[in-house]
Amino acid sequence: MTAIRVTDLTKTVGCVTAVDGISFTVEDGELFGLLGPNGAGKSTLINMLVTLLRPTSGTATVNGHDIIEETGAVRNSLGIVFQEPALDEELTGEENLAFHSRLYGQSKTVRQQRIDEILDLVGLSEQRDDPVGTYSGGMKRRLEIGRGLLHEPAVLFLDEPTVGLDARTRRDTWEYIQRMNEETDVSVVLTTHYIEEAEQLCDRVAIVDEGRIVAIDSPTALTASLGGDVVAIDVEGRVAALATRLDACPWVSRYTTTDTGVRVTVERGETRIADLVRLADDADVAITSVDSHTPNLETVFLSLTGATLTEREADTPASDGRRPRDVPVDPAETPARANTGDGE
């Protein structure tokens, strides 16, 4: 069964198209990633799927429910962990979960059972009575993810789940997300701008740039599509002259020009460095540096967009300080939450 189906989903605010005709599906139990720079439209897309923003056009279903016509059913089908922390630090871990459980109308018996299960799953049973303000950053994030699973959703949305965590805690969180996905079989959709996070966690990745999906496949398939290693050459002189010679080389799969030189895709890149140096010499171009590496999703992003993720994020922000495609949630267009539980 398809957990999420998105068809031509678009969100336009003023003259900015934050999400531009996006289509994709997420299968049951899949760990699906939306990879792109800050401001690419990822959070806006998530906010539409969880019914916090109304789309300008297009359709989408979550767990079979339409995001416009069945907002209550959609919300009851999903869990979400926002990028910004949303825990009450004066309450204990158990009290935070209990408050969330009541919002979903769980009975007292179910509530206590689920709280025990979640605290065990996230490894916080011994800290259940400690105020959340005493938790580490990683513990807080695990509690938030566990809270998103408390009502047993069909789909869990994680919006930049490891932002602000140190490297070790980030890796621990990756391991937890993988284990949680395997043990609960919940479908997971996460947004991230961390290349390694997408490579490590996701069954499939949609690369998002300027409000559009430019590629979608498994991380392995996406990197394999480049057809070889990437040799980056920085030069002094006319890059165009070198590019002309690259055009005539049958062993060059593809190349892109940069501000400082070229990035060339070839099989077994380390064996072609000498050939590339000779081409540059023939073109009367002085090489200042050479770097060869096996492609990753950063390389894929570069080949598809002409810029790295870092370069995209360095673009000029909007005049109000937000990234160009960050669309804030407007309370006026957010439907009231429908709760069908039997809570006490």
DSSP output for 282-320:
HTT-EEEEEEEE---HHHHHHHHHSS-HHHHHTSPPPTT
Residues 209 and 231 in one domain: no
Please provide the distance, in angstroms rounded to a whole number, between the alpha carbons at the two ends of the chain. 33
Q: Do residues 222 and 297 make contact, with C-beta atoms less than 8 angstroms apart? A: yes
Detail the DSSP E strand segments found in 93-247. Answer: 155-159, 187-192, 204-209, 212-217, 229-236
Residues 58 and 176 in one domain: yes
65 part of a folded domain: yes
pLDDT of residue 128: 96
Polymer length in residues for the chain: 344
Residues 200 and 231 in one domain: no
CA angle, 86 as apex, 316 and 126 as ends, to 5°? Answer: 130
Looking up residue 137, the CATH number of its domain turns out to be 3.40.50.300
DSSP 131: B
Residues 158 and 269 in one domain: no
CA distance 335 to 71: 7
Residues 263 and 124 in one domain: no
Residues 201 and 285 in one domain: no
108 part of a folded domain: yes
Our count of domains for the chain comes to 2
310 part of a folded domain: no
Reading the block at residue 24, the tokens are 């994709």
Of 169, 194, 218, the last residue of a domain is: 218
312 part of a folded domain: no
Residues 145 and 260 in one domain: no
Task: Return the CA Rg of the chain.
Answer: 23
DSSP-derived 3-state class of residue 257: strand
Picking from 4, 9, 3, the residue whose alpha carbon sits closest to that of residue 208 is: 9
CA distance 83 to 146: 15
Picking from 58, 55, 96, 52, the residue whose alpha carbon sits closest to that of residue 74 is: 52
Q: Do residues 330 and 52 make contact, with C-beta atoms less than 8 angstroms apart? A: no
Per-residue pLDDT of the chain (344 residues; tens, 9 = 90+): 799 999 999 999 889 999 999 999 999 999 999 999 988 999 999 999 999 999 999 999 999 999 999 999 999 999 999 888 889 999 999 999 999 999 888 999 999 999 999 999 889 999 999 999 999 988 999 999 999 999 989 999 999 988 888 888 888 889 889 988 888 889 999 999 999 999 999 999 999 999 999 999 999 999 888 778 888 889 887 888 888 889 989 988 888 888 888 888 888 788 889 999 999 898 888 899 998 888 889 888 988 888 888 888 776 455 444 555 667 666 556 654 444 344 44
Which amino acid type is present at position 77? S
343 part of a folded domain: no
Q: Do residues 138 and 165 make contact, with C-beta atoms less than 8 angstroms apart? A: yes
Task: Name beta bridge partners: 337.
Answer: none
CA distance 256 to 266: 12
Residue with tokens 């198209």: 17
Ramachandran sector of residue 336 (left: φ over 0; alpha: ψ -120 to 50; beta: rest): beta
Neighbours of 215 (CB within 10 A): 19
Residues 152 and 265 in one domain: no
Q: What is the pTM of this model?
A: 0.78
Of 164, 195, 218, the last residue of a domain is: 218
* Calculated CA dihedral for residues 153, 101, 125, 79, nearest 10 degrees: 30
Q: Do residues 323 and 39 make contact, with C-beta atoms less than 8 angstroms apart? A: yes
120 part of a folded domain: yes
- Domain of 241 in residue numbering reads as 227-294
